[in-house]
Structures are given as C-alpha cells and as structure tokens.
Chain A
Amino acid sequence: MKDRHLSLNQTQRVRLEAALHELQSLAPAAASAAAVTVADTIPVNQEDNILKGHGTSDQDGEVVATLCGVVERVNKLVYVRTLRARYKPEVGDIIVGRVIEIAPKRWRLEINFSQDAVLMLSSMNLPDGIQRRRTAVDELNMRSIFEENDVICAEVRGFQHDGSLHLQARSEKYGKLERGQLLMVPPYLVKRKKQHFHHLEQYNVDLILGCNGFIWVGEHVVVGEKTKPTGGQQRFSTEAENFTPLETRKHICRLANAVRVLSALGFTLTVELIIETMEASVSSNAEINDMLGAEFYVQTAEREAKRRADLLRKKNGAR
C-alpha cells in the first residue's frame, strides 16, 4: 500500500480495493474501537492505579496518547502499540544487523533502532573455538572475524544503562551471513515467534526473519561454517566460479520478491505465508520479475483475503 509505484489499470484497481476492503472488514471489530491518534485521551477508570506504559503521558490527570496506534490493556497497564515505528528491542530477540564501525573491543551494528547496537568481542566466539581470555592480538584481529558492512545475525543480550543495546553471538547458528541478500521491511510485520531461523530444505535456502525488520534470504550454510575466519578479498576472487547455483538463486530471488510484495501490502510475515506466495507464483508461471508487478500484487491481496475469510468461517463453524 505504501509503495505506490505500481501503475494499476482500472480493473486491477477495482480488484485491489475489493480485496483490501474485505481484509479490513475481516479484522476484529475491537481494533477500530481502540485505535487512537496523537493527543487523544485514553478512557481509563480513574479509581484504579493505572500504570501508564509506552505511548502515553499524563496531562492534567488524564492519560493522553503520544503515538498513533492501538490501545492495549493488560491488567493495570495501559499502553499504545504503534505500527510504523523503529524496532523496539526485547531481550532474547534474534536480529540481523550490519557492522558500521569497529571500535576498541567491540563492533557497532546498525539494526534499525534509535541507536547503534554493540557486539562485544567477548560476546563472540573466537575462530578457533577455544574459550579463553581475549588478548590484544585478538583485538587487532577483529577485522578477520567481522569487517565493516558485514551482515551479522545475533541475539539481544540486554540493555546498557544509557539505553544502547548489547548483542551476543556465541552460539553456532549466529554469525556472519553471506551468499544471499538482505531485505528491509517495517519491523511490525515480523512477529516474535519460536523460531526465526528457517531452513527451507526443498529449496536449499536459509530464511532468517530478524525481529528488527531485516530479513536475510540466502543459500543454505551448514551450521558451524559460519564463523570461519575469512581471507577477505582473496577468498572470493579465487572462488569466482563458485557462485550460487542457478536453481538455488532462482528460489532465493522468488522468496525475496515474495517478501517484498507481502511487505508492500502490509501483511504480517510468516514463513508459511512467504512460501505460499512463492508457490503461487511458481504455479501461475509468473516470471520472477513479474512478481513485483501489478498483477501479482493484486492476486496476492485477493488470495490473502480469501484465506482469512476461510479461516474465519472455519473458526465460526468450529464454535
């Protein structure tokens, strides 16, 4: 919906509006009741000791929203959940970030947060796998582990007193990501689930849904090979012929385009939905590039509307 650089012809526009309208009517009715914009007063029961959470502020004894979003109430806590904002980190989140700077004993990563995140050298496994104290030599060799502009997968360890984020990448499944592409979507489209690493065997592709909205789609790498030290430039020039095979590359591009279409439509990203969209494109024999076109866009919206309608019917039927 935001990327309006698609030119739809008349029939496509009509179909898209019908699908979007259906999606909006299927949403639970509680949504509209709780939606709030900046400076709206949130109705609260004055007798309770209401805890004012994020997105609210106290003005003249009234609870006023400072963000546009939906009011959520959990017990005594009232807060406003906004959609289009920067990433809001939680301890234990799996995120994908890009190294901006190498500082003494740490790497600074950009993760779509209001500040850069910090990955300490001590929170990172050494290449030889031995658990030992980091020496000055290790500090000088930081570039051999991660360089500037590298894409890294890590986990949120905690917050510092000044609000900045600390990450850790001690497990085998975290580390540098190569041989793929990084996509950026609004963070609210990625919900926190049990699993963020998805290995799609049938395509030989790794799909990592970072909670901060960075999504990695790449060739499958066997866990354990990730943190090997690289020889930098020379490794790639000698492997010049060692490009990703065409079949895997086609799958990667299709998945990436599926993610792009779904995020443009504003649908929550789940692995099932991404795979479903991708398979629909294969079955309809759409060219990979046509997935970013108007026709596929409208078709995806219609498909999702139908799926939600069916789900709702099943739920109501089950009751």
Chain B
Amino acid sequence: MVGLSEGEKHFIRGGITQDLRTDGRKRLQFRALSVQTGVIPQANGSARVRLGATEIIASVKAELGKPSILHPDKGKVSIFVDCSPTAEPMFEGRGSEELSAELSVSLQRCLLGGKSGAGAAIDLSSLIVVEGKVCWDLYIDGLVVSSDGNLLDALAAAIKVALSDTGIPKVNVSVNAASDEEPEVDVSDEEFLQFDTSSVPVIITLTKVGRHYIVDANSEEESQMSSAVSVSVNRHGQICGLTKRGGAGLDPSVIFDMISVAKHVSQQFISLLDSEIAAAEAEEAEC
C-alpha cells in the first residue's frame, strides 16, 4: 500500500468526478469477477474468488459440537479472516491482526445477525442434530492471498460461493439413547445435504470520494476515501447489515442515498455471482 502523490490523488478525484476511473471503469462498475469452487478438497466447501487483482480463498468446515446452553436449538457458526503476507509484506507477523479482526467482525455482523442469532443469513436451526446435545459447528475461514482493495466485498462473495459448495454430511442418530447420555451419531460419508444459500447476502462497499460514490475501489482509490459504507443486501433486497468506516462525517441523507444505490448495485452483483457459481459448478461437474 504505497502512498500516492498529491498529483495522482487529484487525478483520481477528477476521474471519479467525471465518471471515468483510472482503469476506465464507471463509478458503479465492478472489476472482472472469476469464481472457482472446490479448491480445498479437505473442506466441506471451498471457493476461490478473484475480483480484479484481489484474490480470496474461503473454506467451510463442519464439525460436530455441543450447542450453547442459551440456544439449544441452534448450531454455531464462526467466521475468521486471515491476511497472508504473500499479499503484502506488511501483513507479516502481527501486522495484519487489526485488519483481520476488523474484517472478521464486519462479516460476522453482516452474516450472523445479532447476539441472539436472530436475523442470521444462515438458518442456524438447520444445523442442529440432536437438540441440546449435538449440533454442527461451522467454521468459515477466509484467506486473503492477494490484496488490491475491496477486501470486504470479495470476502463476502467468497463465503457465499463456499457456502453454496458446502455439503453437510447426513447424520444418523441412534434411537435407543437415554435422554441424559451422549447420543451416538453416525456421520455418513456418502450422503450430503447441500446448504441453502438463497438468503446469504452479499456486501457492497460504497466508497465516498469527494462528492461521488464508487463501487469496488482498488487500493489506490481506497487510500483516497473520506468514508466508506458497507451495506449487506440479500436477494430480496433486504438489508442485513451496515458498517461505516472512515473518519469523515456523513449527512444522514447521504447515507440513505448510499443505501439505495447499494441495493440497486447488489441486485446486479447477486445475479452475476449466481451465474458464476452455476458456471463453476458445471465446470466442476465436468471434471
């Protein structure tokens, strides 16, 4: 993340004002998106998403665990993000901890809903095996392999694709277990239940530069931002989460405007992502 000179910043601001960014995109245009599924065979589901030069690998692993006492009828999901130093030398050692923590928390907020689990994008009650005793723990891991801006959107897209690739093994519970004993579960190797990802949202980050907003900022444009609002929208146009970053204050009317722009852009992005997922799955089926 090298700094930019005043002249270059001026040029970028001018481009955004004139609706012609440095690589020729319009303000609300995404970079080239490419999707691959099944990249990590050991995981239950995995995906690799490239948005321009940003590359993310996401994997979903399911393990059997005990549900929490407060919510005995829900499974557990946890999301972690790691930034690999191969992407940027400054991610070495503990350099990436702050960024990883921020990304993880933002994703959790957008995908998992509140503390009670209400409003989560993933139906947690579908993860339960035996109520109160056994449930599935989903561990979603994102790895940033190459970073060129807009990590949050790419991570959310990668997680959505990985979840659509996830297969939870079917579990047969032995019937004759006593009520206070640990039941025996038999995890099947053959049958898998595909995850329902129709309600998993995507995140659209709108970066405000000057008086205009842009979508999918690369790292140069991100260094220019006064503030950024990340809106998580699902297929039905409902907002699942909202995060504002950046030091500059925003007028509430501006935020409402940004939300409506994000909703509009997200519908196109969701349909693009769905077609890419379908293409990737078709390709995987061929292999």
Give chain A's interface residues, CB within 8 Å of chain B.
3, 5-7, 98-99, 110, 147-151, 176-182, 218, 230, 232-233, 236, 239, 243-244, 246, 249-250, 253-254, 256-257, 260, 287-293
Contact = CB atoms under 8 A, between A and B. Distances in A.
A151 B10 contact: no
A243 B50 contact: no
Contacts of B4: 149
A216 to B, nearest CB: 10
Contacts of A250: 20
B3 A178 contact: no
Given A5-B53, A178-B5, A243-B18, A288 B24 contact: yes
Given A292-B32, A293-B32, A5 B24 contact: no
Contacts of B22: 181, 253, 256
Nearest to B280: A7
20 contacts: A6-B32, A147-B5, A149-B3, A149-B4, A149-B5, A149-B6, A150-B6, A176-B5, A176-B7, A177-B7, A179-B11, A180-B11, A181-B12, A236-B6, A243-B10, A243-B14, A253-B15, A288-B24, A291-B24, A292-B32
Given A7-B34, A148-B3, A151-B8, A289 B13 contact: no
Given A5-B50, A292-B32, A253 B20 contact: yes
B11 A244 contact: yes
A243 B17 CA distance: 9
B55 interface: yes
Interface string B1-42: 011111111111111011011111110010010100000000
Given A7-B32, A256-B23, A293-B32, A98 B18 contact: no
Contacts of A179: 7, 10-11
Contact of B23 (A178, A236, A257): A257
Given A5-B52, A5-B53, A293-B32, A254 B24 contact: yes
A254 B50 CA distance: 23
A3 B17 CA distance: 29
A291 to B, nearest CB: 7
Contacts of B17: 243
Interface string B48-64: 00101101000000000
Most chain A CB atoms below 10 A, which of B7, B20, B21: B7
Please name the 7 residue pairs, one residue from A and one from B, whose CB atoms are nearest each other, closest first.
A178-B7, A288-B24, A243-B14, A149-B3, A289-B24, A7-B34, A150-B5
B29 A289 contact: yes
B11 A181 contact: yes
